[in-house]
Structures are given as C-alpha cells and as structure tokens.
Structure 1
Amino acid sequence: MTTTHVLGIDIGGTKIAAGLVGEDGELTAAREVPTDAHDPAAVARALDVLVDDVLAQACEHGHRVADVVGIGSAGPVDTRRGTVHPVNIPSLRGFGLVEAVAGRAGAVLGRPVRAELAQDGQCFAAAEQWRGAAAGAPAVLGVVVSTGIGAGVVLDGRVLAGKSGNAGFLSHVGVHLDGAVLEGSGARGVVEAYASGPSMVAAARRRGWRPGEAADAKRLTADAADGDPLALAVIADGTRALASAFLSAAALLDLTDVVVGGGVASAGDVVMAPLRAAYAELAVYPHLADVRISASRLPRTSGLVGAGRLGWSALAGDGALGR
C-alpha cells in the first residue's frame, strides 16, 4: 500500500536534519548532518544531499511524497522572502532557503514543489500540540531553552505566524526594565539575557563559579543537582525570569499549556521544579495559575515532526493543525 509523506527539514545551529512525516505524525527516513555556520555553499550542498537521500529512501520504500515541503529554521525568519537570519548561523543570513529546498525537491521528484517556512520554535510548538506533551490542547506555548530561547504558539489548531513569520519570539520578551544587554542582539532586559544556557553560565561565573574547562550549562545543572548553592541560586534566578515571560504570554493568549524543551530543560527537575514554583508564585489569577508546564515528549524529533506538520497543514489549505 502506497502512503503519502511530507518532507520535513529542520535547521539549527549544530545540525540540519530531514525526514519523512506521515499523516499520523510518524517520522521515517530521518537523516542529519552538521551545520556549517560560516559557509553558505556548504549549507546549500548539505541541503541537496539530505533532500536527495531522504527522497531516495521514500522511493525505495514505496512512499508517495507530497508537493509541499515543511521547513523549520532558527530565526528570525522572513516568510515573505523565504529567507532566514539566525544570529548564531552566519552562513544562513539572507540565504534563499525556501527557493533552494523547493527547487531541489522539485528537481528530484520531477514536478513543482512549494515549501512552507516557519521558525524552529513554531515547529516545536506544532509538534508538541500534535503528538507531544500538549497533544490536542487548544492554546499552547512551546519553548526551546538551549543556547538561545526559541518559541512558538498554537491557538485553536493553528500556528501563529504574524506579519513576518516571527510570532512567538519569546526570547525578546522583557522581564527586567533597563536590565542586562543580550550579547549579539543588543536587546536590554529580555528573557534570553537571563534564562538561556550561556546566560546562566555567565551569571554563575560572575558570582564566582569556577568549574574548570567544562563551564557549560550541562555542568551548571549537574552541579545544581549535586546541591551546589551557587548553581542552585543561578538556576532559580534564570527560571524565575523564564516564568515571568511565560506569565506574560499566558496573560495575553489565555494559554492552557507551556511545553519546554531544549538542552537546559532536558536537565529535568533541577530546572523544571524551580520553573514551576516560580510560575505558581507569580500567577495570581486562576486562569493563569492552572496553565500546565510540561517537559517535551519529543526531545529529538520535534523539529522534524513540526516541519512535517507545516506541510500537512498547507496541503489541507486552511492552516489548521488539527486537535
């Protein structure tokens, strides 16, 4: 029996991945390569190799591939031009991502193909609302906390896009008036300046944390899990800033769920427990206090599953992601 799949592409600071996503959200033929952060030609070659490889797998297994490709990328994105401008991936700034992927897929399939582009945080939210921790929920904020903070919102089965495709850009929600400046952005007092992995590591160093060579977020959360008072205090401050941003989003959008993923969140209770506690302290109204804060159930595949869901949504023609 021939089944139809959507080609999904997921682009991040460390890897570019591709795979086939079925109508039920099942992911097959997933492949990935490292991201070259400095050479646009290398990025273009990597995309060509991945598209060719995954579509060859589809042919080998008798899968029909839809005429729409879903692409999730580190942002900001420009959906009007089909380009992306990630702070941490210079090779992709201004890169014609939609044209490159659609052109290659069309050439391999022998028919016109169009591509749908969204921020990686929006794809994360779409995947978690579709098949993850908030499956079927009507109002979901999905947040990826890692080297940066990415996010997206699904309301009533639809991903919020906005005028440029950057709705849900939680990293630049203000949490401290006239606060710290975010390196690489210049924004002042925004949540990413306090709650991303590098920001918490920098805060710990300023307060005297000296772990040696492995001074990263993984080491910081490990020290906190071992009871280090300084590491615990820094994570408490970072998660309080994150909880404040969640509260702002919940107040604006009347959320039912917040799903948290990414490297920092994968540390487990050492991060999630103070995050939930800070949110509970800040949320004074019942409709805000009952927002569920959950860890991702799709930690490795959310980007591809969400990108595939973009394609399925485009095929449906109404923007709905389903519930």
Structure 2
Amino acid sequence: MLLNDAAPATTPAGTAVADRPLALAIDVGGTKVEAALVDDQARIVDGTRHRAPTGADNTAEGIADAVRRVIDETLASAPPGARILGAGVGSAGPISIGHGTVSPLNLPVWRGFPLAALVSEQSGIADPVLRLDGLCILLAEHWAGALQGFRTAMGMVISTGIGGGLLVEGRLVGGRTGNAGHVGQIQLHTHDGGGRDLSITLEGIAAGPRIVGWAKEQGWRGDTGEDLAASYRANDPIAVAAVRRCARAVGEGIASVCALIDLEAVAIGGGFSRVTPDLFDLIRESIADVAPLDTIDGVQILPSALSDEGPLIGAAGLIHRADLLP
C-alpha cells in the first residue's frame, strides 16, 4: 500500500519515514484501542498514534466504531509517500487465528467478533495478521526491548487484565488456536464448585481492577490503581497488603510457567506493573518462596523496556518480524 508521492516526512530522529517500510499496528484492549504506524526499526512514527475508548460497558458496535476511528485517524496522519507493508493486530483474548475472530474476556459484548475482517475492510489492507496481545508484547520486548538476546522467555502485562506470550528456543509460540501464553488464565486455586470460575485465575486475583476491588472489600477508601499507588506510598496497611497480594499471585504464576518451560527471563509491563517500584522485588521474593524447583529462582524478572509503546511495536512486529511467527 503506497500513499501519495509528496516529499517524505521524518521521524523525531530525522530518518526519512517514506524510505523505510511501515506497518499499521493495532492494539485492542479492555479499556482502549490504539493504532499507529511503526517502521522496521521498531519506531512509532511521530504523529500517527491514535486511541479511542473501548470498555466493558460499551456496545459491540461502539467498540467496532472505536477501531474504525483509530484506523482512519492513523492512516490519515501517515507521512506523504509512506509505504505500508501490512497490518498487525494484537487483541486481548481468547482469539481464533483460524477464523480471524476475538472474544476478549474484558469485553463481554464481543464474542467471536470478526476483528481481522473489520481491519481489512476499514484499512483496505488485505490479510491482517491477528495474534494475542500478550504475544505481541513478548515480540516487542524480544525485538527491541528487555528480552533481546534471550531464547526462552515470557512477556507479560499487568493492567485491566493479565496477558502473556511465550518465546521457546528462539521461536514465538502460538498454539492450536493462537492462545498459547495466556498466563492470566492460569488457575492458582482449586475450584470450590463446578464449572468455570475466573476469580481463581491469576487475572482474577491480580489484575489491576481485581486488586483495587479486593482492597475496597477490606475497607480501603480509594477507587483506582493510582489511588492505590498513593496509599501504598503512604504505607496504608490495606494498600500494602493489596500490592503484596498482586505480587504473590504473579510470582506463583511465573513459577508455574518456569516449571513447564524453564524460562530464562520475564519482562513485565502494563499500567498496574508501575503501581510501585517495589512490585518487582516483591515478585522475585514470591518466586523464591513458592518455586517448586531449585532451578526456577534463577529466572530474571525485568521491567518492560518499551512501556506503553510495547503493544503497538509488537503488533507491527507481526509484519516486520514475521520470521519469528509460528
């Protein structure tokens, strides 16, 4: 896809954007959808990043309209002469790569929604590449972030939900349906009754809204993750207990994954991962405490090097680094 032939624009670093191939990157999550153009050096093109709210209270068509809007805004802000190779889409899961559909747990009105078809129709780009958002985060960190040089690792996000992606012996792991690495759905406790119980999963215990909700049940008076962070800094005992609850659950989840695939490193990002700088030390302490094998305690727990840009860089990596895809 080649846009108009006027003189090339530049990135903030001064590189001629039109001289480098670009990917349309889209990230769909429980609170927002974002889109941007990203070059083959993992750089978001200045002025092309746009976002719109999604949210569990939204309608199916309202979320679809948000996706359409950010695609339109991003393509409209493309530099003159931009050469767009394809579209990469990361979405909260579960997903079906065979059908191009998504059913994000935190967007209950989207069940089996044809996201790949929507992106293709709106952007005019054929055959968008759809993958789990956690895999995109891992891809970004392995391509340009904290996991460069590792061969067996996990990328992880702690935010509205908890997602993850796996790299095993230098290759991304997609799985039968595209949902491999969905670490947020590891079950940490035994079911009290029959059927599905999302409250006993890592996400059900440790995701930002779940931790905030737990703290409020204990009598804490705040409302948001930012409030919880402030209370933690003030040494509020309930806030401290809530953050420790999160770290304990994340450590248990990581230790379980390590027992299966012997991880070298885990890179963690997402808004709630920044609730306090202490969180990473608390996670490491948790792993050391619960690890069922002596070898597990050697796993490196690293903050994301890409921060909030990771999901978009990873979605672009589905195009620029297709050699890593299963």
Instruction: Tell me the matched-pair count.
Output: 306
**Aligned partners of 1:170, 1:181: CA distance in 2, in Å?**
22
Give TM-score, length-normalised by structure 2.
0.85
Unaligned runs of 5+ in 1: 107-111
TM normalised by structure 1 equals: 0.86
State the partner residue of 1:30: 49
Confirm or deny that 1:226 pairs with 2:239.
Answer: no
Q: Could you report, residue by residue, the CA deviation over 1:179-198 in whole angstroms, capped at 9, with x for unpaired residues?
A: 6999xx62363222321222
Counterpart of 2:273 in structure 1 is: 265
Deviations 1:147-170 (A, max 9, x none): 221111122343211111111111
Q: Which residue of 2 is the match for residue 63 of structure 1?
A: 82
2:70 maps to 1:50: yes
SS class of match (1:163): coil
Letter paired with 1:295: P
Select 1:199's aligned residue among 194, 210, 226.
210
Structure 1 residue 120: Cα displacement: 1.2
CA contact (8 A) 1:179 1:190 kept: no
Give percent identity, aligned residues only: 33
Q: Does 1:304 align with 2:312?
A: yes
Structure 2 residue 141 is the aligned partner of structure 1 residue 165: no
Deviations 1:71-107 (A, max 9, x none): 001111111111111122234322211011122322x
Displacement of 1:5 in angstroms is 0.8
d(CA) in 2 for partners of 1:268, 1:62:
43
Q: Answer whether contact 1:121 1:143 (CA < 8 A) is retained.
A: yes
SS of residue paired to 1:19? strand
- RMSD between superposed Cα atoms in Å: 2.4
2-structure distance, mates of 1:17, 1:187: 27
Written as runs of structure 1 = structure 2, the 5 A alignment for 1:1-323 is 2-28=19-45, 29-35=48-54, 37=56, 38-58=58-78, 60-66=79-85, 68-106=86-124, 113-178=126-191, 186-187=197-198, 189-207=200-218, 209-211=219-221, 214-283=222-291, 285=293, 287-314=295-322, 316=323, 319=325
Distance in 1 (alpha carbons) for counterparts of 2:109 and 2:200: 28
How far, CA to CA, are the matches of 1:166 and 1:53 in structure 2? 29
Work out the CA distance in 2 between the residues paired with 1:14 and 1:231: 23
Q: 8 Å contact 1:16–1:35 — kept in the other structure? A: yes
SS in 1 for 2:246: helix
1:200 & 1:49 partners in 2: Cα distance?
32
Cα distance per residue 1:56-79 (max 9 Å; x no partner) = 333x3322110x311001111111
Q: Which runs of 5+ in 2 are unaligned?
A: 1-17
